[in-house]
A and B are shown apart, each in its own frame.
Chain A
Amino acid sequence: MANEKPIIKLENLTYFYPNSKTPAIENINLAIYEREFVTITGPSGGGKSTLCRIFNGIIPHFYGGKLEGRAIVNGIDVKSSSVSELSRVVGLVFQNPVNQIVNLTVEEEIAFGLENLMFPSHVIEERISWVLEILNIKHLRNRLTYTLSGGELQKVALASILALKPKVLVLDEVTANMDPYSAREFLKLLRDIWHEIEITIILVEHRLSEVLQYANRLILLNKIIIADGLPREILKSDLLEKMGIEVPPVTLFSKKLGVKPLPLNVKEAIRVFREWLPRK
């Protein structure tokens, strides 16, 4: 899955918000390869949202501030590029869907980005149909956006980004306002999309219970990169607990008992315990 050249490469990256003397992120070195499914987590204020916005250039171009070091996305230097150019490669979905949606109808919203980039009508039609299909929201096509539920809105926001066919999809705490059931459904949908199309997914979350089973790489960020590797390996340590990040209860429980291999969710825990118990 990993190609030779990373699609995102950050070298010694440090960023200061305007009028800030302390950096939001410091000396970040990170390489993300195509088709990875990466989860970034960390405490509040640790720079997760900052990093998301660097991926598509909103930082520094929309926010200003000082960006030191190098950030290369799909071969383009973030500092000398534009949000528009980077947004064609990196699609960013924000936490609150209500504030991302501009148009009155779902169809208009999905067409929005493509219209801004001067795509012709027939291509827009193809993209709309395609994205409604893969997200299973064909029935929402002509709905007025202010009548949609939170979960539906988030899917529409995702649809309007996917319609641009970015190579990388970045989701900044998108399940924060969802109830757990809807969050689970949404994450399953993301996993399905990841399998179906050739896309790299970067998921920023701090509710890990549902997310850990999907990512093959976990990055701990608290202004600097604390850890970067396989979720199971990182959970074996107590880094997450020390940083005050919520660890799935079954994982915590298993750690206390010394159960191996360390389960990340209930299904795995049941399997592991079934083998472990008789031995005890």
Chain B
Amino acid sequence: MVTKEIIKIENLWYTYSNGYTALKGINLKIYRREFIAIVGANGSGKTTLIKHLNGLLKPSKGRVIVFGMDTRTTSVARLARHVGVVFQNPLNQFFEETVEKEVAFALKNFGKKSDSNKISDILKNLGIEHLRYNSPFEASLGEQRRIALASVLIYEPDVIVLDEPTAGLDYKAKINLLKILKELLAKDKTVLVVSHDIEFLAKAPLTRIIVLNSGNLVFDGLPIEAFYNIPLMYSSKLIPPQIPALIIGLNLQKYATPLNEEEAYETFRFLIKKVLIDGHR
């Protein structure tokens, strides 16, 4: 059975009005239920790329097909129903007096009825039910990010894109976010995360990693292949996760390739035996 892609990006080029070319011939297919990370240094084109997914930007050359719709001829509002983008700064969107109204905003725009139960469910899932009647401006950054996420989840897009969702969050909030994303995947959503928080990504159950470097797509594959490819990491101005860097530094990558400290601990006892059997390093 052949799975058809839900998003197809064909030879996408994008140049800003000031002449700066941010994307140079990107080819990419995204399938259902994927968990994809888009990484790259600041200025590599990550944010430009995701803005094409809901039509905020239209291609200079090439095309982007989202659920069969060509973004060049489809309105942002129509595309946004399928692809919900959560941007980095929640304060760039808050304007209502209560969290409840803020979350329901998208429903109003799409002409759907405001469902009090649906709102409750979403707020509960994200652990912000207690903020329902508060002002979104009074919440902490972690809570604000979740309110912004709720305001996108409310209209149930198939694809959820998050732009730097962990920036400024403390460790607890990051682990919490990971839990929320895993739950979304379990509900058959497709999740795209733009991030340079490599340790966060090293803990995430990603299906694929996309690496951008100065507008070029330089890697599209499994996280293990990316994180253990030190030249790729450094040439894209990325710092590899610590555990792979350690394993490579100890030249043990032929035995095991953990990505984070939990995986490393589990595989290490196996590793030690292997090392003893194979003799001294």
Known: A45-B140, A182-B42, A266-B245. A249 touches B250 (CB 8 A): no
Interface contact A177-B167, CB-CB below 8 Å: yes
Segment of B25-33, B67-75, B120-128, B264-272 engaged in the interface with chain A: B264-272
From A150, A257, A265, A273, contact of B250 by CB (8 A):
A273
Interface contact A266-B42, CB-CB below 8 Å: no
From B140, B242, B245, contact of A44 by CB (8 A):
B140
Q: State in angstroms the CA–CA spacing of A280 and B243 once bound together.
A: 19
A96-116: CB near B (< 8 Å → 1, else 0) gives: 000000000000000000000
A147 to chain B: closest CB distance in Å? 10
- A269 within 8 A of partner (CB): yes
Closest 10 interchain pairs by CB? A270-B249, A244-B172, A253-B261, A246-B171, A249-B261, A249-B242, A179-B196, A181-B237, A180-B239, A266-B245
Interface contact B196-A180, CB-CB below 8 Å: yes
Interface contact A206-B170, CB-CB below 8 Å: yes
User: Whose C-beta in chain B lies nearest to the C-beta of A151?
Assistant: B42
Q: State in angstroms the CA–CA spacing of A35 and B77 once bound together.
A: 57
- B260 within 8 A of partner (CB): yes
User: Whose C-beta in chain B lies nearest to the C-beta of A248?
Assistant: B242
- B113 within 8 A of partner (CB): no
- B43 within 8 A of partner (CB): yes
A121 to chain B: closest CB distance in Å? 35
B194-212: CB near A (< 8 Å → 1, else 0) gives: 0011110010000000000
- B141 within 8 A of partner (CB): yes
- B280 within 8 A of partner (CB): yes
- Chain B residue numbers with a CB within 8 Å of A178 are 42
CB-defined A-B contacts under 8 Å, sample of 29? A44-B140, A45-B140, A151-B42, A176-B167, A176-B168, A177-B167, A177-B168, A179-B237, A180-B198, A180-B238, A181-B238, A209-B242, A244-B170, A244-B171, A245-B170, A246-B170, A249-B243, A249-B260, A249-B264, A250-B243, A250-B261, A253-B243, A253-B246, A256-B265, A265-B242, A269-B246, A269-B249, A273-B250, A280-B272
Q: State in angstroms the CA–CA spacing of A176 and B237 once bound together.
A: 17
Q: State in angstroms the CA–CA spacing of A150 and B246 once bound together.
A: 30
- B218 within 8 A of partner (CB): no
- A252 within 8 A of partner (CB): yes
User: Whose C-beta in chain B lies nearest to the C-beta of A241?
Assistant: B171
- B281 within 8 A of partner (CB): yes
Interface size bucket, B side?
35 or more
A175 to chain B: closest CB distance in Å? 11
The interface of chain A, by Cβ under 8 A from chain B, is: 43-45, 149-151, 176-182, 184, 206, 209, 244-246, 248-250, 252-253, 256-257, 265-266, 269-270, 273-274, 277-278, 280
A22 to chain B: closest CB distance in Å? 15
Interface contact A249-B241, CB-CB below 8 Å: yes
Interface contact A253-B264, CB-CB below 8 Å: yes
Known: A45-B140, A273-B250, A277-B281. A252 touches B261 (CB 8 A): yes
A33 to chain B: closest CB distance in Å? 29
Not counting A266-B242, A277-B272, a sample of 15 additional A-B residue pairs whose C-beta atoms are within 8 angstroms of each other reads A44-B140, A44-B142, A177-B167, A179-B41, A180-B198, A182-B41, A182-B42, A209-B199, A245-B170, A246-B171, A249-B261, A253-B264, A253-B265, A270-B246, A274-B281
Interface contact A266-B249, CB-CB below 8 Å: yes
Q: State in angstroms the CA–CA spacing of A179 and B195 once bound together.
A: 9
- B275 within 8 A of partner (CB): yes
Interface contact A273-B196, CB-CB below 8 Å: no
From A45, A184, A257, contact of B265 by CB (8 A):
A257
- B198, B243, B246, B275 interface centre (most CB from chain A within 10 Å): B246
B245-257: CB near A (< 8 Å → 1, else 0) gives: 1100110000000
Q: State in angstroms the CA–CA spacing of A265 and B265 once bound together.
A: 17
User: Whose C-beta in chain A lies nearest to the C-beta of B198?
Assistant: A180
- Chain B residue numbers with a CB within 8 Å of A44 are 140-142, 170
Interface contact A266-B268, CB-CB below 8 Å: no
Q: State in angstroms the CA–CA spacing of A45 and B242 once bound together.
A: 28
- Chain B residue numbers with a CB within 8 Å of A181 are 41, 237-239
B125-161: CB near A (< 8 Å → 1, else 0) gives: 0000000000000001110000000000000000000
- Chain A residue numbers with a CB within 8 Å of B264 are 249, 253
- Chain B residue numbers with a CB within 8 Å of A256 are 261, 265
User: Whose C-beta in chain A lies nearest to the C-beta of B280?
Assistant: A278
- Chain A residue numbers with a CB within 8 Å of B268 are 257
Interface contact B43-A149, CB-CB below 8 Å: yes
Interface contact B41-A249, CB-CB below 8 Å: no
- Chain A residue numbers with a CB within 8 Å of B42 are 149-151, 178-179, 182
User: Whose C-beta in chain B lies nearest to the C-beta of A206?
Assistant: B170
User: Whose C-beta in chain A lies nearest to the C-beta of B41?
Assistant: A179
A174 to chain B: closest CB distance in Å? 13
B30-56: CB near A (< 8 Å → 1, else 0) gives: 000000000001110000000000000
Q: State in angstroms the CA–CA spacing of A269 and B171 once bound together.
A: 22
Known: A244-B172, A257-B268. A184 touches B280 (CB 8 A): no
User: Whose C-beta in chain B lies nearest to the C-beta of A271?
Assistant: B249
Known: A176-B168, A248-B242, A256-B265. A277 touches B199 (CB 8 A): no
